[in-house]
A and B are shown apart, each in its own frame.
Chain A
């Protein structure tokens, strides 16, 4: 007899007893085996519920991208989720623009994919602590040691473009561009943004994704060789999926 919870609440039966008969006998190893598995199932269910995991995909948590240094903690329940994404020296490759005089160097990293449906984001916040952004090579072959760039979160990944800065649109439609300045290859101040204005995005045809994007401010910020930006910080999203199709 296997564990019943959470499919059903345990009725007290085990391979040693039928609780309907109210047997007055001491428990044996079979009773123990069953009660232990039911307790473990209960503890697992508590943890799962606390993390917003739901049996219905539409109401459950999304999926974190697989990336070294990128982790998530989910809170909430089947109605509203708080997704707290931590970036710990996550490496994002920077690529110079095709025409460096007119095209910014850029980098992007997918963060999260929501369940398919209409995603109502109630609020979000991002913070990169002092020195939370760091160029690995620097020196101007890749990033300049004093590079300036815009960083934000959007529903579309940044790519080569004939422009500097993020595009003012879907590259930064989740967290608007934050202008960051490096000093000695590291960010010289805390950078943060909070937004509590609710908005709904249609992810019913294709699941909504969030991407961390950056692009340099001018040509002097990056040379022609690829570099790596180490990103540390926290990104929090308060959201729900209203429905699909």
Chain B
């Protein structure tokens, strides 16, 4: 006799007893086995609900991108999710602009893909601690040792473009923070909080969010690629309202 929960609440039956007969007999190993299964199923469901996993995909959690140093903890339930990303020296490759005097050097990393549907982001926060941002090469071949750049989270990945910093959908989840490097590392804690709700139409294709970086002027980056190590925490509170 298989475990019943969560398909249904246990009726007390086991391979040793039929509860409808109100048998007054001591439990044996078969009762014990079933009891353990039902308790385990209940505990598993508690754990699953606590991290927002739901049997209906639209009400469940999204998918974190596969990237060394990027992990996620999910909290919430089938209504509202709190998704907490930890970045531990996540490496973003920087690319200089095609027309360097006018085009920012840029870098991007996909963080997360929501379930398909209209994603209502209720709030978001990002924090990069002191020295949480670090150029690997520096020296001006890639990033300058004292580079200034904008970093934020958006629903579109930054790409080669005319202009410096971030704009629009490159920073529509967490607005651009301007960061300064000193000796290749960020010289202050950087953080931004956004509590204004916004709905993004992911009904045709699922909404992704991306960590985006764009330098602020040509002196911030040379012609060679570099790597920016990013450490910090990004939190998003969200729900999917529906699909189509």
Inter-chain contact B243/A123, CB cutoff 8 Å: no
Inter-chain contact B42/A42, CB cutoff 8 Å: yes
B221 CB within 8 Å of chain A: no
Chain B contacts of A44 at CB under 8 A? 9
Inter-chain contact B239/A123, CB cutoff 8 Å: yes
Inter-chain contact B244/A129, CB cutoff 8 Å: yes
Chain B contacts of A77 at CB under 8 A? 77, 79
Inter-chain contact B79/A238, CB cutoff 8 Å: yes
Q: How far, in angstroms, from A29 to B16 measured CA to CA in the complex? A: 12
Chain A contacts of B49 at CB under 8 A? 46, 49-50
Number of interface residues of B (CB under 8 A): 39
Q: How far, in angstroms, from A47 to B6 measured CA to CA in the complex? A: 8
Inter-chain contact B120/A39, CB cutoff 8 Å: no
The answer, among A43, A190, A196, for a CB contact under 8 Å with B118, is: A196
Interchain nearest-CB distance for B26 vs A (Å)? 4
Chain B contacts of A80 at CB under 8 A? 79-80
A17 CB within 8 Å of chain B: no
Inter-chain contact B12/A82, CB cutoff 8 Å: no
- Beta-carbon nearest neighbor of B26 in chain A: A28
Q: How far, in angstroms, from A40 to B46 measured CA to CA in the complex? A: 14
A127 CB within 8 Å of chain B: yes
Inter-chain contact A238/B239, CB cutoff 8 Å: yes
Inter-chain contact B79/A36, CB cutoff 8 Å: no
Assuming the contacts A39-B42, A46-B45, A76-B78, asked whether A194 and B10 have C-beta atoms less than 8 A apart, the reply is: no
Chain A contacts of B78 at CB under 8 A? 50, 75-76, 82
Q: How far, in angstroms, from A124 to B80 measured CA to CA in the complex? A: 13
Chain A contacts of B39 at CB under 8 A? 39
The answer, among A26, A47, A81, A196, for a CB contact under 8 Å with B198, is: A196
A59-88 vs B, CB cutoff 8 Å, 1 = contact: the mask equals 000000000000000011100111010000
Chain A contacts of B203 at CB under 8 A? 192, 194
Assuming the contacts A39-B42, A238-B241, asked whether A32 and B79 have C-beta atoms less than 8 A apart, the reply is: no
Number of interface residues of A (CB under 8 A): 42
Inter-chain contact A236/B241, CB cutoff 8 Å: yes
Q: How far, in angstroms, from A223 to B54 measured CA to CA in the complex? A: 47
Q: How far, in angstroms, from A122 to B198 measured CA to CA in the complex? A: 10
Between B12, B46, B120, the greatest number of chain A beta carbons within 10 A of the residue's beta carbon is seen for B120
Q: How far, in angstroms, from A126 to B244 measured CA to CA in the complex? A: 9
Q: How far, in angstroms, from A80 to B80 measured CA to CA in the complex? A: 7
A198 CB within 8 Å of chain B: yes
Q: How far, in angstroms, from A32 to B78 measured CA to CA in the complex? A: 34
Inter-chain contact B197/A125, CB cutoff 8 Å: no
Interchain nearest-CB distance for B172 vs A (Å)? 13
Inter-chain contact B239/A40, CB cutoff 8 Å: no
Q: How far, in angstroms, from A75 to B54 measured CA to CA in the complex? A: 9
The answer, among A43, A50, A234, for a CB contact under 8 Å with B242, is: A234
Chain B contacts of A28 at CB under 8 A? 26
Chain A contacts of B6 at CB under 8 A? 43, 46-47
Chain B contacts of A32 at CB under 8 A? 26-27, 31
Assuming the contacts A32-B26, A40-B9, A127-B244, asked whether A122 and B35 have C-beta atoms less than 8 A apart, the reply is: no
Which residues from 1 to 23 on chain B have a C-beta closer than 8 Å to any C-beta of chain A? Answer: 5-6, 9-10, 12, 19, 23
30 A-B pairs whose Cβ atoms sit less than 8 Å apart in the complex:
A27-B27, A28-B26, A29-B27, A32-B27, A32-B31, A39-B39, A42-B42, A43-B9, A43-B38, A43-B42, A46-B6, A46-B49, A47-B9, A52-B79, A75-B54, A75-B59, A75-B79, A77-B79, A122-B120, A122-B122, A122-B197, A123-B241, A127-B243, A192-B203, A192-B244, A194-B241, A194-B242, A234-B242, A238-B80, A238-B241
Residues of B within 8 A of A (CB): 5-6, 9-10, 12, 19, 23-27, 31, 35, 38-39, 42, 45-46, 49, 54, 59, 77-80, 117-118, 120, 122, 197-199, 201, 203, 239, 241-244
Given contacts A32-B31, A47-B6, 7 further A-B contacts (CB under 8 A): A36-B10, A43-B38, A50-B78, A75-B54, A75-B79, A123-B118, A124-B241
